[in-house]
Amino acid sequence: MMKYKIPFILILSLMLTLCASTQEKLQKQRAEDPQYQYNIGLVYLQNGNFAEATKYFNKALALRSNFYLALNALGLTNFMQGEFQNAAGYFEKCLQVNPGFSEARNYLGSVYQELGLLDRAEEEYRRAIADETYKSRELPYYNLARLYLAQDKNEEALQLVEKSIEINSRMVMSLNLKGIVLERLGRIKDAIESYRKALRINPEDINLNYNLAVAYFKDDRREDAKIIFEKIYPQVTDKETRDKINEYLKVLK
């Protein structure tokens, strides 16, 4: 009995139809998956494309109205653009859905601080600090220290920033802030050591190098200050900082 052979072109056609059907099904699943839409939004946010990030976070919310991660992400997107009132609204909604989400609470504190609502900012930072399950508690410690520094509560700021460093000894922002606080307290040599610790972690940071050079200048280590100022000057784009470096270099000649 002769075996019937299916033509190759027919097999190929069937395979392509199957692939197209599978692809359409996958696209439909993704279009209806809030987590997928949220993940796409995160990619755009990380690349600084706020418009596309917002679009996908809103898609995620349209699919799941209580998706607190998308609300938090929209808050962060607005915060990064300086839209502080909008950011506050999203973080507040996020915390209504999930009051235990301390990441949004820390961000909300930062927004309130930008809006000049300092008491409310402090309350949010302290609530985030009190959450022992929050894995990034160094951040609200740092932010509260920054708030106290702005209020000239320098000793309190130092205690808080040291707590931040205890939790994460490689947090460059905290080491830099500690140096600034120590300068305020007149402890220039200790400030220098804090800046140098931070620079061992991130040696190319322009702001850290500038702060260290200024501290060297205050400590009368003029040659050390000059070397750093001359090194970073070509990389500085901010006019105000360039002007300040020029003034220092004139004195150091």
pLDDT digits (tens, 9 = 90+) for 59-77: 999 999 999 999 999 999 9
End-of-domain residue from the set 102, 124, 146: 124
Q: Is the dihedral of CA 150, 153, 158, 159 positive or negative?
A: negative
Mean pLDDT of 186-215: 98
> Are 38 and 108 part of one and the same domain?
yes
Please check whether residue 79 is in contact with residue 96, taking contact to mean a CB–CB distance below 8 angstroms.
no
The structural domain count of the chain equals 3
> Are 94 and 67 part of one and the same domain?
yes
Read off the tokens for 116.
């000049």
> Are 222 and 177 part of one and the same domain?
no
Helices 206-218 and 222-232, packing angle to 10 deg? 160
> Are 250 and 175 part of one and the same domain?
no
Residues spanned by the domain of 151: 136-203
Output the pLDDT for position 182: 98
Number of other residues whose CB lies within 10 A of the CB of residue 58: 14
Least confident piece of the model among 21-35, 81-95, 206-220, 222-236 = 21-35
End-of-domain residue from the set 124, 159, 187: 124
| Residue 13 in this model has a pLDDT that exceeds 70 | no
> Are 199 and 227 part of one and the same domain?
no
Asked, for residue 20, whether it belongs to a domain, the answer is: no
Least confident piece of the model among 3-17, 21-35, 60-74 = 3-17
What pTM did the predictor assign?
A: 0.86
> Are 98 and 180 part of one and the same domain?
no
> Are 105 and 50 part of one and the same domain?
yes
Q: What is the mean pLDDT of the chain?
A: 92
Number of other residues whose CB lies within 10 A of the CB of residue 3: 4
Mean pLDDT of 117-126: 98
> Are 71 and 143 part of one and the same domain?
no
Output the pLDDT for position 3: 47
Please check whether residue 195 is in contact with residue 210, taking contact to mean a CB–CB distance below 8 angstroms.
no
> Are 38 and 120 part of one and the same domain?
yes
The CATH number covering residue 83 comes to: 1.25.40.10
> Are 37 and 74 part of one and the same domain?
yes
> Are 111 and 48 part of one and the same domain?
yes
Asked, for residue 18, whether it belongs to a domain, the answer is: no
Asked, for residue 242, whether it belongs to a domain, the answer is: yes
Instruction: Return the residue matching tokens 């990389």.
Output: 235
Asked, for residue 24, whether it belongs to a domain, the answer is: no
> Are 56 and 110 part of one and the same domain?
yes
